């Protein structure tokens, strides 16, 4: 038999790129209805679940274009008489917390946040122009833009979206001891899409990746693939739970707990930490299906979220002292570097992107011409939470759809799928 699988990478809001490419292929060849299985990680998991559940691809595209602000609801700091937009934490105390967490040396350089005099940040191994205003600007500006208030709280968020954020509230301070975003907005959107549907209710093959933070049997954390195969222990979890778990990117969203009746599976984080490109986990799961004799029966379309010039050049090391590359450099929450090539949370992005490239290499070696990778290089870095610049991303997709490379991909899809 011939078994066709669409695999969708992780990449946050750049899932729009994946959805747009699939949408174009579906218009040309109706590939979604011709597909036997869907696999995904992180934002790709949401996309895979949506297609498996019969959500129109056009609706998923609209979700990325219109719901960014409701997906990335910024975690407000503790409220105080100092009002700095969504960052309602006293600035002097914030600088103390930065000093404690990252051992940063505070200078006398001054910037302004909502009319409050603050101190800039300087430390050995980091750019000298990183300031507190840059670091928390997104909390202030995005919060005011979306909620129309300088006093953002869980109550404001609940009124704006019609849900209670209490159970999805990240503990601690954003980017320091807590996640950067609340997950309650994403969960509300997923509930509207999937209701109470379970993985086992789908008529097609599903494979979604997430990392379990503690497994009772193994007494350790564990990479997991949620599928609807009869022997999979997660086959009866809800699609909402699967989507929330696979997209809980460390430092961006809080870990997500899955409980089904009396079974507590514990907490999960984004599957991108081990399989941001789900090609190999999907292949492994699919090979256990009845009727599949081996890899030669598999046809796989793997769709990425855009390649970028992310990395750490020798200039970054030479200028900022390689021996200083500790927690503050690897997990610094802003893009930096000689040409902004070091992404936010560089260690996490390194894991996401290198595991994706390795899976692509392995799957291509195993499946040969039956494996097709659809992806392209973005003209500039585009961070996974940059929903404000979604029109720029869409313009890049529009441009790519007119290229000879996309025409080549379309011809290959026609060969494999039709």
SS (H, E, C) the chain: CCEEEEEECCCHHHHHHHHHHHHHHHHHHCCCCCCCEEEEECHHHHHHHHHHCCCCHHHHHHHHHHCHHHHCEECCCCCCCCCECCECCCHHHHHHHHHHHHCCEEEEEEEEECCEEEEEEECCCCCCCCCHHHHHHHHHHHHHHHHCCCCCCHHHHHHHHCCCCHHHCCCCCECCCECCEECHHHHHHHHHHHCCCEHHHCCCEEEEEEEEEEECCCCEEEEEEEECCCCCCCCCCEHHHHHHHHCCCCCCCCCEEEEECCEEEEEEEECHHHHCCCHHHHHHHHCCCCCCCCHHHEEEEEECCCECCCCCCHHHHHHHCHHHCCHHHHCCCCCECCCCCECCCHHHHHHHHHHHHHHHHHHHHHHHHHEEEECCECCCCCCCCCHHHHHHHHHHHHHHCCCHHHHHHHHHHHHHHC
Mean pLDDT of 9-24: 98
Determine the pLDDT at residue 326: 77
When the pLDDT of each residue in the chain is averaged and rounded to a whole number, the result is 81
Residue 112 sits in which domain range? 73-187
Close Cβ partners of 203 (under 8 Å, ≥ 6 residues apart): none
CA 287 to chain centre: 27
Contact 42, 202 (CB under 8 A): no
Angstrom distances, CA of residue 331 to CA of 3, 119, 251, 299: 41, 21, 9, 38
Residue 314 inside a domain? The answer is no
Distance CA 34, CA 95 (A): 56
Per-residue pLDDT tens for 222-231?
999 999 999 9
Task: Tell me the sheet residues that pair with 150.
Answer: none
Per-residue pLDDT tens for 89-101?
344 445 455 555 5
Residue 110 inside a domain? The answer is yes
Residue 121 inside a domain? The answer is yes
More reliable by pLDDT, 120 or 210 = 210
pLDDT confidence of 152, banded at 50, 70, 90? very low
Contact 43, 393 (CB under 8 A): no
What pTM was estimated for this model as a whole? 0.78
Residue 258 has pLDDT above 90, yes or no: yes
Determine the pLDDT at residue 208: 99
* Percentage of the chain modeled with pLDDT above 70: 72
Residue 61 inside a domain? The answer is no
Contact 276, 27 (CB under 8 A): no
Contact 343, 263 (CB under 8 A): no
Taking alpha carbons only, the member of 392, 399, 374, 397 closest to residue 29 is 374
Mean pLDDT of 99-109: 45
Contact 272, 351 (CB under 8 A): yes
Alpha-carbon Rg of the chain, whole angstroms? 22
Angstrom distances, CA of residue 393 to CA of 18, 70, 342, 343: 11, 18, 19, 17
Residue 417 has pLDDT above 70, yes or no: yes
More reliable by pLDDT, 127 or 310 = 310
Residue 196 inside a domain? The answer is no
* Percentage of the chain modeled with pLDDT above 90: 60
Give the total number of structural domains in the chain: 1
Residue 141 inside a domain? The answer is yes
Tell me which of 128-142, 191-205, 249-263 is least confident. 128-142
More reliable by pLDDT, 152 or 284 = 284
Taking alpha carbons only, the member of 295, 382, 257, 226 closest to residue 5 is 295
């Amino acid at each position: 038999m011939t078994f066709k699988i669409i695999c969708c990478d992780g990449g946050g809001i750049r899932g729009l790129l994946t959805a747009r490419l699939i949408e174009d292929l579906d218009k040309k060849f109706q590939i979604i209805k011709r597909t036997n299985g869907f696999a995904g990680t992180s934002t790709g998991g949401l996309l895979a679940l949506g297609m498996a559940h019969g959500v129109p691809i056009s609706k998923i595209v609209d979700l990325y274009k219109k719901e960014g602000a409701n997906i990335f609801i910024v975690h407000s700091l503790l409220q105080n008489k100092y009002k700095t937009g969504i960052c309602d934490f006293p600035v002097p105390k914030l600088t103390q917390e930065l000093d404690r967490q990252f051992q940063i040396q505070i200078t006398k350089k001054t910037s302004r946040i909502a009319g409050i005099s603050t101190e800039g940040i300087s430390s050995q191994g980091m750019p000298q122009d990183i300031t507190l205003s840059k670091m928390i600007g997104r909390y202030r500006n995005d919060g005011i833009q979306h909620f129309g208030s300088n006093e953002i709280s869980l109550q404001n968020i609940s009124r704006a979206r019609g849900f209670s954020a209490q159970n999805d509230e990240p503990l601690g301070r954003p980017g320091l001891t807590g996640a950067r975003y609340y997950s309650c907005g994403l969960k509300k959107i997923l509930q509207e899409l999937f209701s109470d549907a379970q993985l086992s209710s789908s008529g097609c093959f599903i494979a979604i990746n997430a990392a379990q933070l503690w497994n009772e049997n193994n007494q350790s954390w564990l990479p997991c693939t949620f599928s609807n195969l009869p022997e999979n222990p997660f086959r009866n979890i809800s699609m909402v739970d699967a989507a929330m778990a696979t997209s809980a990117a460390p430092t961006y969203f809080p870990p997500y707990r899955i409980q089904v009746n009396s079974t507590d599976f514990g907490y999960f984080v984004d599957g991108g930490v081990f399989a941001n490109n789900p090609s190999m986990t999907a292949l492994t799961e699919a090979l256990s299906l009845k009727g599949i004799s081996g890899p030669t029966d598999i046809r796989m379309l793997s769709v990425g979220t855009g390649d970028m010039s992310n990395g750490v050049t020798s200039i970054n090391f030479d200028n900022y002292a390689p021996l200083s590359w500790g927690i503050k450099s690897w997990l610094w929450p802003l893009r930096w570097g000689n040409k902004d090539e070091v992404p936010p949370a560089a260690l996490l992005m390194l894991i996401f992107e290198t595991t994706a490239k390795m899976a692509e290499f392995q799957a291509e070696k195993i499946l040969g011409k039956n494996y097709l990778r659809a992806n392209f290089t973005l003209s500039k870095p585009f961070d996974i939470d940059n929903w404000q610049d979604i029109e720029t991303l869409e313009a890049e997709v529009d441009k790519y759809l007119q290229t000879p490379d996309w025409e080549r991909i379309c011809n290959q899809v026609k060969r494999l799928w039709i």
